[in-house]
């Protein structure tokens, strides 16, 4: 008896379970002033104790700019000491201001004095000093210290300079 070929078996399809469709997550709209963008603007707030002299110290260990001659990056640790008069520098704006130098070419002496000038022009402090400790470049460490005293300020005759250890790689 001749066998007839069997009909090919068709695989049974099992339904694939899919997750229920959900709406795509909404992206937060970009703020008008993005929080992480460099800015040449410094913001201020009223000094909470203008009746007394007290030192505000900011430490900025990751300052960067570029050498205007070679284009190589320069790195510095900035310490800003100030005795505010009527206005104080707002921290976030100081951070964004310092960040704004990242892609600029500037000599160490110029950028240090420019930053002091901006702080003085914006806050009119009784006293301000910037100590910029520049990392080694060509085998030389550079420290630039710039000061401002408000005319007529009767604060300490000498505001102590931070004691800087000998540079060994900062």
Residue 136: the pLDDT is 85
74 a catalytic residue: yes
For the segment 126-160, what is each residue's pLDDT rounded down to a tens digit? 999 999 999 988 888 999 999 999 998 887 655 66
- Given the residues 74, 85, 88, 114, the one annotated as active site: 74
DSSP symbols for 22-71: -PPPPPPPPPSS-TT---S---EEE-S-TTS---EEEEEEEEEEE-TTT-
Residue 35's pLDDT is 60
User: Active site residue: 53, 65, 67, 88, which one?
Assistant: 67
Active site residue 88: no
Which domains are assigned to the chain? Answer: 49-149 (3.30.1130.10)
pLDDT greater than 90 at residue 20: no
Tracing tokens 């460490």 back to the chain, one arrives at 141
pTM for the model:
0.73
- The fraction of the chain above a pLDDT of 70, given in percent, is 71
**pLDDT at 11 exceeding the cut of 70:** no
Q: What is the DSSP letter of 17?
A: P
Each residue's pLDDT tens digit, 35-87: 678 889 999 999 999 999 999 999 999 999 999 999 999 999 999 999 999 99
Average pLDDT, the chain: 84
Q: What is the pLDDT of residue 24?
A: 57
């Amino acid at each position: 008896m001749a066998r007839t070929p069997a009909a090919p078996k068709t695989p049974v399809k099992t339904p694939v379970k899919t997750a229920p469709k959900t709406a795509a997550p909404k992206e937060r709209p970009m703020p008008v002033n993005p929080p992480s963008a460099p800015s040449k603007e410094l913001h201020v707030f009223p000094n909470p104790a203008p009746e007394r002299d007290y030192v505000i110290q900011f430490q900025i260990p990751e300052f960067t700019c570029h050498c205007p001659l070679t284009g190589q990056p320069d790195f510095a640790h900035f310490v800003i000491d100030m005795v505010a008069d009527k206005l104080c520098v707002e921290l976030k704006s100081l951070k964004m201001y310092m960040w704004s130098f990242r892609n600029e070419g500037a000599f160490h002496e110029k950028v240090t004095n420019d930053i002091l000038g901006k702080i003085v022009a914006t806050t009119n402090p009784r006293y301000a000093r910037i100590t910029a400790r520049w990392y080694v470049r060509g085998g030389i460490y550079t420290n630039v210290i710039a000061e401002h005293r408000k005319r007529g300020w009767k604060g300490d005759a000498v505001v102590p300079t931070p004691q800087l250890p000998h540079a060994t790689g900062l």
